[in-house]
Amino acid sequence: MARIVMKFGGTSVANLERIRNVAARVKKEVEAGNEVAVIVSAMAGDTNRLVALCEEASPLYDLREYDVVVSSGEQVTIGLLSIVLQSMGVPARSWLGWQIPVNTSDAHGSARIQSIDTSDMIRRFGEGQVAVVAGFQGVDSMGRITTLGRGGSDTSAVGLAAALKADRCDIYTDVDGVYTTDPRIVAKARKLDKITYEEMLEMASQGAKVLQTRSVELAMKEGVRLQVLSSFEERPGTLVVDEGEIVEQEIVSGIAYSRDEAKITLREVPDRPGIAASIFGPLTDAMINVDMIVQNVSATGEATDLTFTVTKADFNRAVEVLKGEEQTIGYKELRADKDVVKVSVIGVGMRSHAGVAQRMFKALADKGINIQVISTSEIKVSVLIAEEYTELALRSLHTAYGLDAA
Ligand code: ADP
Ligand code: ASP
Ligand code: MG
């Protein structure tokens, strides 16, 4: 007997037929003698619809009320799945975040899980009951509903698996595992049998939305055995593992992209000490994260250009903040470009191999794709390019690093 957490994303619970399919998968695990907690997302498209309603209601909405609205999609799917399970003879009950409770910070819209009380759930496992848990949501110390950021049901699943000391945390989705790159864009993408936590973390944070970044972070920290697999087909998925468990390590194991970047260039900024602080200080104060940065050396020693990226969601606020600081910073012109994409190649093998970045630059140059900004870390190289080249860049890089499926 094992204790397992199964998580099903939005497309896997998009309608009643699919919810029945999920229930059948759950029933199989129960019949095999396992204790099961199932985490579900809202039906595909529902959370987007709820977010749009908040924005329409008022552009400057209260994030606490936003959480009340956008968390509601999961209430529907836990109820429906519990009804279907019961109709199949599987004892089940639904759990909203606050009923467990899943205690979180009060950072509404992107709260962090602090603790999960599983005592009642475990007692009910003993009675043969399946727990059907709403993903994405929790409750803060004031008793108010919180959400964990978009894609947060993955993190709910990992958090619950850690709290339950589950043997496995299986993430069922609409692809059958983690691929070398998004299989919806590159037809030759290859499924990985295993990927290291570190690479998965980098893939997720660079835009591969198959797992929410925080879920990987948490799994790594808590040693949760994480697996990504298809909710539609029964075949092996991808295991997220420690580095030592991978025998033959590729230099580059994956390529990720993020369209969620916007580029801001400040032209003719005075080239003097303290200038970077005068630009990024006010952005930090406004809770705006800056991702990639380039600053040129000025030829005359007087003025230079500074380019950086922020998320598309923060873009309007960033421009507003910088316009307010125009006099203090003393730049000549602010240029903005939202039609950009960040493409990143990732692999722990980069630590011990030279020439990875050069291969990327050459592959893009061969296709006539101009690189606007570059940033690197120990296990990744990222470039910012024009959005229209996303597919061409992904396909070319995939081939250049020898990742194409046979
Ligand atoms: P869910 O609703 O089940 O949480 P998501 O849409 O959040 O599913 O994540 C699954 C999607 O992630 C896939 O449909 C795929 O298009 C995308 N994706 C991006 N990069 C990758 C990758 N490297 N491997 C697998 N899927 C990826
Ligand atoms: N329903 C939420 C979202 O769409 C959470 C999730 O699906 O993981 O972001
Ligand atoms: Mg998801």
User: Do 244-406 and 3-174 have the same topology in CATH?
Assistant: no
Q: For residue 319, what are its two tokens?
A: 């421009």
| Domain residue ranges in the chain | 3-174, 244-406
DSSP category for residue 187 = T
CATH fold label, 3-174: Carbamate kinase (3.40.1160)
Ligand 3 (single-atom ion) residues, CB below 5 Å: 9, 151
- Tell me which residue has tokens 């250009």: 305
Please work out whether the CB of residue 153 comes within 6 Å of at least one atom of ligand 2: yes
**Residue-wise pLDDT tens for the chain (406 aa)?**
899 999 999 999 999 999 999 999 999 999 999 999 999 999 999 999 999 999 999 978 899 999 999 999 999 999 999 999 999 999 999 999 999 999 999 999 999 999 999 999 999 999 999 999 999 999 999 999 999 999 999 999 999 999 999 999 999 999 999 999 999 999 999 999 999 999 999 999 999 999 999 999 999 999 999 999 999 999 999 999 998 888 777 889 999 999 999 999 999 999 989 999 999 999 999 989 999 999 888 777 889 999 999 999 889 999 999 999 999 999 999 999 999 999 999 999 899 898 999 999 999 999 999 999 999 999 999 999 999 999 999 999 999 999 998 8
From CA 252, how far away is CA 276, in angstroms rounded? 33
Residues 6+ apart with CB under 8 A from 159: 102, 113, 116, 218
From CA 365, how far away is CA 36, in angstroms rounded? 51
Ligand 1 atom closest to residue 231's alpha carbon, by position in its atom list: 3
- What is the reported pTM? 0.94
Smallest CA separation from ligand 1 atom 15, residue: 182
Please work out whether the CB of residue 151 comes within 6 Å of at least one atom of ligand 1: yes
Please work out whether the CB of residue 179 comes within 6 Å of at least one atom of ligand 1: yes
Please work out whether the CB of residue 9 comes within 6 Å of at least one atom of ligand 1: yes
Residues 6+ apart with CB under 8 A from 49: none
Residues 6+ apart with CB under 8 A from 375: 291, 292, 293, 381, 382
From CA 101, how far away is CA 202, in angstroms rounded? 30
Residues 6+ apart with CB under 8 A from 171: 7, 9, 154, 157, 211, 215, 226, 227, 228, 229
Angle of helix 213-222 relative to helix 153-164, nearest 10 degrees, comes to 10
pLDDT, position 211 = 98
Residue 112's Cβ-count burial label (10 Å; 0-12, 13-18, 19+) is: middle
Other C-beta atoms lying within 10 Å of the C-beta of residue 303: 17
pLDDT, position 236 = 95
Ligand 2 atom closest to residue 154's alpha carbon, by position in its atom list: 8
Closest ligand, as measured to the CA of 204: 1
CATH tag for 244-406 (out of 3.40.5.90, 3.40.190.290, 3.30.2130.10, 1.20.1260.10): 3.30.2130.10
From CA 212, how far away is CA 157, in angstroms rounded? 11
From CA 302, how far away is CA 166, in angstroms rounded? 60
Please work out whether the CB of residue 97 comes within 6 Å of at least one atom of ligand 1: no
Q: How far is the CA of 175 from the centre of ligand 1 (A)?
A: 7
Please work out whether the CB of residue 175 comes within 6 Å of at least one atom of ligand 1: yes
DSSP category for residue 174 = S
Q: How far is the CA of 367 from the centre of ligand 2 (A)?
A: 36
